[in-house]
């Protein structure tokens, strides 16, 4: 201890935390709000961004991306359940997984080449996350097995998302994903969620069945373990089942309440919220609260830059829809051609689209913009001059546009609930 010379081994002083602070207990006791999961997703994205990416040698034998890993896990899951007399429709799952593996092969390979396969936690379910002080942190990662921990970050987040869905916590799942995507910008990960969430649900089902085989059922309750196994199997089936997402375009002048409303719609619709102000800053490699100093119609707000932003929004929306997620695209959408382009994206992917046109009196727009500028905590750089500039050029949406048209001129709770009900009906 405290000697000279080379370090032989490090001593670590550990602090014990209460099992009641583990995320699974917090969820079971309704002791945690979705906002904490959103913050955890934000922090996790920051961690992922600093992790080592798979290097060239690993890309010759890609870790964590092999179809054989997914299908072998399905076989092990079925075998472990059958040994206990627990039945499951494995054949239908196998067909769905094989189809997803085939259709995603190119994307998974591209993500490996682009550095999305990283040295992750690899066991990120609710029992391995704990509230420490005022925030959630992950523990007990799979550092002992490189073959397990080198995975796509989309696979990493799928573990917790699958667990939250099986635990019937959709608001917490939506919040976690929202925090992760807003920070990382990796909307492409959405497209792989059906595959990876099904895979991770099957991993948890396998672990549950094997715990009974080894005489270590949680709490010694075999009946509860069987119920849990069935829930994870059902979760895997739900993950691969066809979804009916919609594309929702939030349209309106600065200060009209687009983002305010989108933030309330996203949890209710289990949707991915894609905001132009954030993606504009991301493309320019600025933080969300950095001010670009761009004048009207130039810099970040030139026609060319704006076109790049709408290109980016279209890509993000397509990735969300491919993953079965309803996508809310939050932008001014002051040009009819930009709205038409996003609707075309939805049509190509077999999704319905609709538009929420946000409007408010001029004095309300001005008040909101001035207050937002005063706070200096928002990605938007719109000021009163920008508002006037937008008004001169804004092409208001009309009923001739080939999409459902909703107007959202009220912030009253009843009006929002009515809007949510109408949009939910479109999801079918």
Average pLDDT of the chain to the nearest whole number: 92
Instruction: Match 């990662």 to its residue by tokens.
Output: 141
Provide the whole-model pTM: 0.93
Domains of the chain: 19-240 (3.90.1200.10), 246-427 (3.40.50.300)
Instruction: Match 């937002």 to its residue by tokens.
Output: 372
Lowest-pLDDT choice from 84-88, 154-158, 273-277: 84-88
Taking the C-alpha atoms of residue 189 and residue 294, their distance in angstroms, rounded to an integer, is: 31
Q: What is the pLDDT of residues 8-60, one digit of tens each?
A: 888 888 889 999 999 999 999 999 999 999 999 999 999 999 999 987 666 55
Residues 6+ away with beta carbon under 8 Å from 325: 190, 193, 243, 245, 270, 271, 272
Taking the C-alpha atoms of residue 418 and residue 316, their distance in angstroms, rounded to an integer, is: 27
Instruction: Match 């408010």 to its residue by tokens.
Output: 360
Among 320, 322, 316, 314, residue whose Cα is nearest residue 342: 314
Taking the C-alpha atoms of residue 64 and residue 67, their distance in angstroms, rounded to an integer, is: 9
Q: If you average pLDDT over residues 309-336, what whole number do you get?
A: 97
Alpha-carbon distances of 382 from 277, 278, 335, 388, rounded to whole Å: 10, 13, 17, 10
Under 8 Å between Cβ of 124 and 154: no
Q: What is the pLDDT of residues 281-295, one digit of tens each?
A: 999 999 988 888 778
Q: What is the pLDDT of residues 79-104, one digit of tens each?
A: 999 999 997 778 789 999 999 999 99
Within 10 A of 21 (CB to CB), how many other CB atoms are there?
A: 16
Alpha-carbon distances of 121 from 114, 146, 147, rounded to whole Å: 19, 11, 12
Over the Cα atoms of the chain, what is R_g?
24
Q: If you average pLDDT over residues 395-402, what whole number do you get?
A: 82
State residue 63's pLDDT score. Answer: 55
Q: What is the pLDDT of residues 214-271, one digit of tens each?
A: 887 776 789 999 999 999 999 999 999 999 999 999 999 999 999 999 999 999 999 9
Under 8 Å between Cβ of 259 and 293: no
Taking the C-alpha atoms of residue 374 and residue 174, their distance in angstroms, rounded to an integer, is: 30
Within 10 A of 397 (CB to CB), how many other CB atoms are there?
A: 20
Taking the C-alpha atoms of residue 132 and residue 82, their distance in angstroms, rounded to an integer, is: 39
Among 335, 271, 270, 291, residue whose Cα is nearest residue 309: 335
Return the DSSP state at 53: B
Taking the C-alpha atoms of residue 162 and residue 158, their distance in angstroms, rounded to an integer, is: 6
Tokens of 288: 């969300």
Instruction: Match 């739900």 to its residue by tokens.
Output: 238
Helices (H), 151-257: 153-166, 170-184, 193-213, 222-240
Element (H, E) at 64: none
Among 118, 119, 101, 203, residue whose Cα is nearest residue 160: 203
Taking the C-alpha atoms of residue 320 and residue 92, their distance in angstroms, rounded to an integer, is: 25
């Amino acid at each position: 201890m405290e000697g000279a010379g080379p370090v032989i081994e490090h001593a670590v002083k550990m602090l014990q935390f209460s099992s009641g602070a583990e995320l699974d207990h917090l969820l079971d006791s309704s002791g945690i709000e979705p906002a904490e999961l959103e913050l955890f997703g934000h922090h996790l994205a920051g961690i992922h961004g600093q992790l080592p990416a798979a290097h060239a040698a690993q890309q010759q034998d890609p870790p964590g991306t092999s179809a054989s890993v997914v299908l072998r896990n399905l076989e092990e899951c079925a075998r472990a359940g059958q040994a206990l007399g627990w039945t499951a429709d494995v054949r239908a799952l196998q067909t769905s997984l094989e189809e997803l593996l085939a259709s995603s092969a190119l994307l998974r390979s591209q993500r490996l080449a682009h550095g999305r396969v990283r040295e992750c936690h690899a066991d990120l379910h609710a029992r391995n996350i704990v509230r420490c002080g005022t925030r959630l942190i992950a523990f007990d990662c799979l550092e002992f097995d490189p073959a397990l921990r080198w995975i796509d970050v989309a696979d990493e987040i799928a573990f917790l998302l699958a667990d939250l869905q099986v635990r019937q916590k959709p608001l917490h799942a939506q919040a976690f994903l929202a925090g992760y995507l807003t920070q990382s910008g990796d909307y492409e990960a959405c497209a792989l969620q059906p595959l990876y969430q099904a895979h991770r649900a099957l991993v948890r089902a396998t672990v549950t069945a094997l715990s009974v085989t080894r005489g270590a059922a949680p709490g010694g309750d075999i009946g509860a373990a069987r119920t849990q196994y069935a829930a994870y199997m059902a979760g895997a089936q739900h993950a691969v089942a066809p979804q009916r997402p919609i594309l929702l375009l939030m349209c309106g002048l600065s200060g009209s309440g687009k983002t305010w409303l989108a933030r309330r719609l996203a949890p209710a619709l289990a949707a991915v919220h894609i905001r132009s102000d954030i993606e504009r800053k991301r493309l320019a490699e600025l933080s969300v609260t950095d001010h670009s100093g761009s004048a009207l119609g130039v810099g970040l707000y030139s026609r060319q830059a704006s076109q790049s932003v709408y290109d980016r929004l279209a890509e993000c929306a397509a990735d969300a829809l491919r993953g079965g997620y309803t996508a809310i695209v939050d932008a001014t959408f002051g040009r009819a051609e930009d709205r038409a382009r996003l609707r075309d994206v939805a049509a190509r992917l077999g999704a319905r689209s609709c538009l929420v046109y946000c409007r408010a009196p001029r004095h309300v727009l001005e008040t909101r913009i001035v207050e937002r500028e005063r706070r200096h905590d928002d990605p938007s750089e719109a000021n009163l001059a920008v508002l006037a500039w937008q008004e001169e050029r804004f092409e208001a949406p009309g009923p001739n546009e080939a999409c459902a048209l909703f107007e959202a001129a009220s912030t009253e709770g009843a009006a929002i609930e009515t809007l949510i009900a109408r949009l939910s009906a479109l999801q079918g």
